[in-house]
Amino acid sequence: MSVTIRIDHAKKQFGANTVIPDLSLNIRQGEFFTLLGPSGCGKTTLLRMIAGFNSIEGGDFYFNGRRINDLDPAKRNIGMVFQNYAIFPHLTVRKNVEFGLENRKMSKAEKAALSDEFMKLVHVDAYADRMPDRLSGGQQQRVALARALVIKPDVLLMDEPLSNLDAKLRNQMRAELIKLRSRIDTTFIYVTHDQTEAMTLGDRIVIMRDGFIQQIGTPQEVFNHPTNLFVAGFIGTPQMNFFHNAKLVKKDGEYAVDLLGRHIVLDAERQKVLKGRNEPEHELIVGIRPVHLTIAEKGLPATIDVSEMMGSEMHLHLNVEGQDVIAIIPTAGLSLDAVRSGSQTHFDFDPSLMHLFDPETEKNLF
Ligand code: ATP
């Protein structure tokens, strides 16, 4: 049965190195929760603390309100799947899956029936008697998944489980995990540094940096409203464009953004927020996603350095006052002559899609 997880002021040190200084987090029952962040930010460390494999230098962990700090890892009813499959090479697929039940008090027949059920669920039942070296990477990872699921875990911890698979298989397994999700009553915690995985799989995502939480939200929330520059740059490919030489100004009582020679008066909603806290004028970093730029006759001038045909869309690398700016433009109805590498063009954007960041604090103004 899936559980709620509460992490309260968790702290982790390796010697003098504090990897997680002070982290608090609530994960809902049955949620697919993704830990996302660059290499070394502490994702695996946090996962191992939840599993009970790492010592804890501070804070408390709760499953369904029960403190588990001192609960033996084997008694936490956790399933785990790792990047490197970690299945036993000397055991058949069936034996590997049954191994998950090794410490359970149940008859051989019960173990066999459960293993069958989960081999079927992840589509490895046809290979039940094969040795792992005769399986593809994707099949091996399914076996690892079946072994983790066969115990009907309260929590399923997955640490980059798809990163050893090629792109096509990764997409396929991702879709299968989404399907599997509705058939299994467990709380999923999934570690990845791949934002596409986090966005497609997670009900909610926590974005971490250097052991600190940057933002927690649904994929849509973190995409549409990144809380700071780091999240804005980390979520979305190609990366959000950042314009550094912008300014927040107040003229005749109205806030506006001066950007690339334009004076853009902000909408009523943003006016209200800024007026409410009497925001002073200051420098700004303006973020605009590549998909939110359009090619327009009456826009800001740019040179197309490189245009990349991606099929249904084009990625245009624009030179805007010496800065590389990327625009993603749908190809339908587009004159390819107008967007050839080396040609002059103009671009535009909807001002309501600008993200405004304070260069000092790096925080989103809204
Ligand atoms: P990756 O995506 O590369 O797996 P991660 O976000 O999972 O990265 P962690 O593996 O949690 O990061 O590592 C966080 C930090 O803790 C790193 O600086 C790492 O060097 C350090 N660290 C992890 N395990 C140990 C250990 N057993 N002993 C000492 N330092 C460790």
User: Cα–Cα distance between 275 and 252 in angstroms, integer?
Assistant: 12
Instruction: Quote the pLDDT of residue 86.
Output: 83
Instruction: Quote the pLDDT of residue 276.
Output: 97
Q: Which residues contact 56 (CB under 8 A, 6 or more apart)?
A: 10, 11, 12, 49, 69
pTM given for the model? 0.92
Pocket residues: Cβ below 6 A from ligand 1? 14, 19, 37, 39-45, 193
Instruction: Quote the pLDDT of residue 24.
Output: 98
Amino acid identity for residue 227 in this structure: T
Confidence of residue 176 (pLDDT cuts 50, 70, 90): confident
- The sheet with strand 58-63 has its strands ordered as 17-27, 5-14, 58-63, 66-67
Instruction: Quote the pLDDT of residue 333.
Output: 85
User: Cα–Cα distance between 316 and 314 in angstroms, integer?
Assistant: 6
Phi, psi of 180 (to 5 degrees): -60, -40
Q: Which residue among 45, 158, 190, 213 is best mutated to probe the pocket of ligand 1, counting the most ligand atoms within 8 A of its Cβ?
A: 45
Chain centroid to Cα 126, Å, comes to 33
Beta bridge partners of 61: 7
Percent of the chain with pLDDT over 90: 86
Instruction: Quote the pLDDT of residue 337.
Output: 84
Confidence of residue 104 (pLDDT cuts 50, 70, 90): confident
Strand 17-27, strand 5-14: pairing: antiparallel
Instruction: Quote the pLDDT of residue 100.
Output: 85
pLDDT of 156 higher than 90: yes
No. of helices (H) and no. of strands (E), the chain = 9, 19
- CA-nearest residue for atom 27, ligand 1, is 14
Cα 205 to middle of ligand 1, angstroms: 20
- CA-nearest residue for atom 29, ligand 1, is 14
Any idea which of 133-147, 274-288, 316-330 has the lowest mean pLDDT?
133-147
CA dihedral 160→51→199→64, nearest 10 degrees, is: 160
Q: Which residue among 14, 82, 213 is best mutated to probe the pocket of ligand 1, counting the most ligand atoms within 8 A of its Cβ?
A: 14
Q: Which residue among 44, 82, 189, 191 is best mutated to probe the pocket of ligand 1, counting the most ligand atoms within 8 A of its Cβ?
A: 44
pLDDT of 288 higher than 80: yes
User: Cα–Cα distance between 198 and 246 in angstroms, integer?
Assistant: 31
Residue-wise burial string across 44-80, b where 16 or more C-beta atoms lie within 10 A, e elsewhere: bbbbbbbbbebebeebebbbeeeebeeeeeeebebbb
- The sheet with strand 155-159 has its strands ordered as 78-81, 155-159, 187-192, 32-36, 204-209, 212-217
Instruction: Quote the pLDDT of residue 165.
Output: 86
Q: Which residues contact 92 (CB under 8 A, 6 or more apart)?
A: 128, 129, 130, 131
Cα 41 to middle of ligand 1, angstroms: 7
Q: Angle of helix 137-149 relative to helix 167-181, nearest 10 degrees?
A: 20
Q: Which residues contact 17 (CB under 8 A, 6 or more apart)?
A: none
338, 295 Cβ separation under 8 angstroms: yes
User: Cα–Cα distance between 238 and 174 in angstroms, integer?
Assistant: 21
Instruction: Quote the pLDDT of residue 103.
Output: 81
Phi, psi of 55 (to 5 degrees): -65, 160
pLDDT of 336 higher than 90: no
Which atom of ligand 1 approaches the CA of 35 most closely? 6
Confidence of residue 2 (pLDDT cuts 50, 70, 90): very high
Confidence of residue 135 (pLDDT cuts 50, 70, 90): very high
Which atom of ligand 1 approaches the CA of 42 most closely? 11
Instruction: Quote the pLDDT of residue 182.
Output: 87
